[in-house]
Amino acid sequence: MEKDRILMSQRDRDVLKVMSLVLKGQRTQVEAARLLKLGVRQVRRIQHRLKSSGDGAVVHRLRGRPSNRRIDDAVKRKALLLYRQKYLGFGPTLAAEKLAEEDRVKVAVRTLGEWLLAAGLWTRHRRRDRHRSRRMRRACFGEMVQADASLHDWLEGRGQGLKLTLVGMIDDATGKMLCRFYPSETSEAYMDLLSRWIASHGRPLSWYSDRHGIFRAESRLLGEDEPVAVATQFSRALAELEVELILANSPQAKGRIERLWGTAQDRLVKELRPPGAGQGTGSAGHSLSSGNAHRGQRLHDPPGQADLSAPAPGVAGPARWASRRGKTPGRIDEDSLQAAVSGVPADPSQRTGCARR
């Protein structure tokens, strides 16, 4: 009895119903083609198969069989083996990128995700956050940048207690970003980063950040009941550069850079694992840009084609303020960082001059 049963979808039943009328001569092939949204030649082929094979001819002949475009089992086994050996804990997107770049194994992200789920090597993490309407992006590049810092265990306990803070800026219209590692979140770190942004992209029109003491301070004046806002070293530098300072009232308000930190804390931490992680250069920190920080952050085409960035008037304001204070951004211990990201202690005789104190 089970052998005589034919499993059909609703589409198959519709085709069989229309074609049965064609076989009886009650409907023409042209009418059947119009109803089934097929070509007349396809209707003619279905009619011939029905005459020779019966009702099962309307069921696709590949149903229940492996796809003709399926990936070879050897590729699947190799990808899962490499994942277990080198990329355990990676999400499908980052793992697919690494397999293609370093191991020449090209697998679609969705396909790799299905393999990992079936093997029990990865589970989906669904986030059901409360709905919040997002602010529209600014129209042009350079109209506004968002800035923030992320204190995180970037080296996962390596580096002999080395602490790193990732300070970053991201253009609101395009998502273009610049991030650098510093020992801590300080005014000097932000000044150094802004100077680098100005050198590469020009001066932004506005700066959007949280209400950290670097950007906003209050003082209680004599005879006043309520504290009043006073300028900080960094806010004075922005004023001298004619950059508008905008302070956010919540983390969600500057969601673009907050989402950047979420992506970086997932992907960049894995990129810094030894061996093979690149080492930054420079005395103040270690740079990450839109091109090499991670590929999880997409760049957007702004609605407006104009670039509103402007050259800085005279000497860069942040650099001048930092020089007046006699301070520069803190230096990261090159030996500890090299040992943390490469697994090999640095040779003191090969240290660059900028790393020496």
pLDDT digits (tens, 9 = 90+) for 81-103: 999 999 988 999 999 999 999 99
User: pTM of the entire structure?
Assistant: 0.66
Kind plus residue range of the DSSP H or E element containing 119: helix 109-119
**How many Å apart are CA 86 and CA 107, to the nearest integer?**
16
Q: Look at residue 328 in the predicted model and tell me its pLDDT.
A: 59
The answer on pLDDT for 299 being more than 80 is: no
Nearest 5°: CA angle at 216, between 211 and 220?
Answer: 120
pLDDT average, residue stretch 272-284? 50
Q: How many CB atoms lie within 10 A of CB 259?
A: 14
Q: Look at residue 197 in the predicted model and tell me its pLDDT.
A: 93
Identify the three-state secondary structure at position 182: strand
Q: How confident is the model at residue 335 (pLDDT cuts 50, 70, 90)?
A: low
Q: Look at residue 281 in the predicted model and tell me its pLDDT.
A: 33
Check residues 194 and 163 and name the one with the higher pLDDT: 194
pLDDT digits (tens, 9 = 90+) for 255-277: 888 888 988 888 888 888 876 44
Q: Look at residue 43 in the predicted model and tell me its pLDDT.
A: 93
Q: What percent helix, strand, coil does the chain show, rounded to 5?
A: 40, 10, 45
Q: Look at residue 9 in the predicted model and tell me its pLDDT.
A: 87
Bridge partners (DSSP) listed for residue 178 = 169, 289
pLDDT average, residue stretch 181-195? 92
Q: Look at residue 276 in the predicted model and tell me its pLDDT.
A: 46
The answer on pLDDT for 2 being more than 60 is: no
Q: How many CB atoms lie within 10 A of CB 43?
A: 23
Q: How far is CA 197 from CA 12, 171, 251, in A?
A: 61, 10, 23
